[in-house]
Amino acid sequence: MELNKIESLIEKYDKGNTSLSEEAQLRSYFSKKSIPHHLVTYKQLFFYFKSDTKHSAQRSLKVRYKIQNKFIRYVSVAAALLIFFMALMNIPSKKNISSLSDEELHAYNETIKALELISNKMKEGNVALSNLSIINSSFEMSNLNIKILSEFQNSTNSIFKIKNK
C-alpha cells in the first residue's frame, strides 16, 4: 500500500503538484536502503537534494555594484538638472508686449508674419502630399487589378489549353 502512495506522490512530483510535506515524505522514503528497482533513479535524485543542502560556499562572494550605483547617481543628477532647466523655461517672462520698444515690436510682428507664412506654405504642401497619396493608392489598386486579370487570364488559358505567346 505504501508503494502505491509513493508512486502517486512521484506522479504528482513529476507534474509539480506536490506540497512541501509530500516532498518531505518522498525524501524520507528514498533515504531508506531498500527501494524497488524501478524507483532507483528517484532515490538518486532525492539523495542529491539531501546532500546538496549540506554544502555551503567555501569563500564569500563579493558583489560588485559600485558601477551601477555611480551610473544611477549620474542619471539622477542629470534628471534633476533637466527638471530644473525645464522649470526655468516655463517661468513666464516679465516683459510684456506693450513694454517693447518700437523696433522690438516691429521685429516681433515681422517674426509672427514670417512664421504664419511658413505655416501656410507647410499646410499647402501637406494638401499636395495628400493628393499624391490619393494618386498613389489609385496606382496600387490598378496594379492589384492587373494582377487579378493576369491570374484570370492564366486560369482561362489553362482551362481552354491555350498556350501563352
Mean pLDDT value across residues 137-158:
86
- Rounded CA-CA distance 141/118 in Å is 35
Per-residue pLDDT, 29? 82
pLDDT of residue 27: 80
Identity of the amino acid at 10:
I
Q: In this predicted model, what pLDDT tens digit does every residue of 48-92 receive, in sequence order?
A: 655 555 566 667 766 666 566 777 888 888 999 998 888 877 665
CA distance linking residue 19 with residue 7, whole number of Å: 15
What is d(CA 161, CA 154) in angstroms, rounded to the nearest whole number?
A: 10
Query: For position 137, what pLDDT does the model report?
Result: 83
Rounded to 5 degrees, φ, ψ at 103 are -65, -45
Work out the angle at residue 42's Cα, subtended by the Cα atoms of residues 37 and 47, and round it to the nearest 5 degrees: 115
